[in-house]
Amino acid sequence: MLNARYTRLIFVLLLAVPLLTSWGVNSLIVYYLVVILAYVSLLVYGSYFIQSDFFLRSLWKGSKDRKEIAITFDDGPMKEFTSRLLDLLKSEKVPAAFFLIGKNIEGNEAVVKRMMDEGHVIGNHSYSHTYWFSLNKSEAMYNDMKKCDEEIFRATGRKPKFFRPPYGVINPMVKKAIEKGNYDCVGWSIRTYDTNAKSAVQVLQKSLKNLSNGDIILFHDWGKFTIGILSDFIKEVRARGFEIVGVDELLKTKAYY
């Protein structure tokens, strides 16, 4: 699989090719522009698609041999939205994973404690979740992640092992922070785009399209149509013979230290 290390090596070799040839100046300029553009495109792809494992190997899909999937929710806790989700999950007897934003925990400790008590997995989704999170220095990112850990521990008494980067962006600085914190980076294989969907039907279709063994589904607590389609999603998943399990069970790894 193509990753950052091999990509650098390949492009160094490509940049050296003209040294072994006798190209004209115009040809050299065009060649180098194409090579540099291709390199930058790969870096962007590797940063914004967590499934690429370009900078860091992430856990984004379970075994293809078991008819199991996991559902995850980002950006909580939010008292109204998250409590309604928990009610629905409890009635359907479905476990889920919640990747929490640390700054949202204060005032919602009871909701977070309920997640833990009802058997859901809790993961770190950074404390601040700013749009520019991935542009920080690795030490600043690590401190932000650690602060989220502290908030989760304050509410539950557990320290999460799972981390999901804001917006799923991975780059060398994010990689360094994840490794320093000794987290397991957890991604997804199906993104529902429930935060900007135009209809409930659209969210349901995206969540079910190409559903296969081992999939991890990404929802958000505050998705406009998420709660409305969740029962239909669960019903259809079960009708197709899938079992919904905790993401830790799907990945066969521990969620906490």
The two counts, helices (H) then strands (E), for the chain are 9, 8
Annotation says 221 is catalytic: no
Least Cα distance to 78 among 33, 41, 134, 129 occurs for: 129
Catalytic choice (120, 125, 129, 220) = 220
Distance CA 13, CA 9 (A): 6
Sign of the torsion angle spanned by Cα atoms 45, 46, 47, 53: positive
Annotation says 215 is catalytic: no
Distance CA 51, CA 46 (A): 9
Catalytic choice (74, 75, 144, 149) = 74
Burial of 232 (0-12, 13-18, 19+ CB in 10 A): middle
Residues 138 and 159: beta-carbon distance below 8 Å: no
Distance CA 211, CA 216 (A): 9
Give the residue numbers annotated as catalytic, written as ranges. Answer: 74, 220
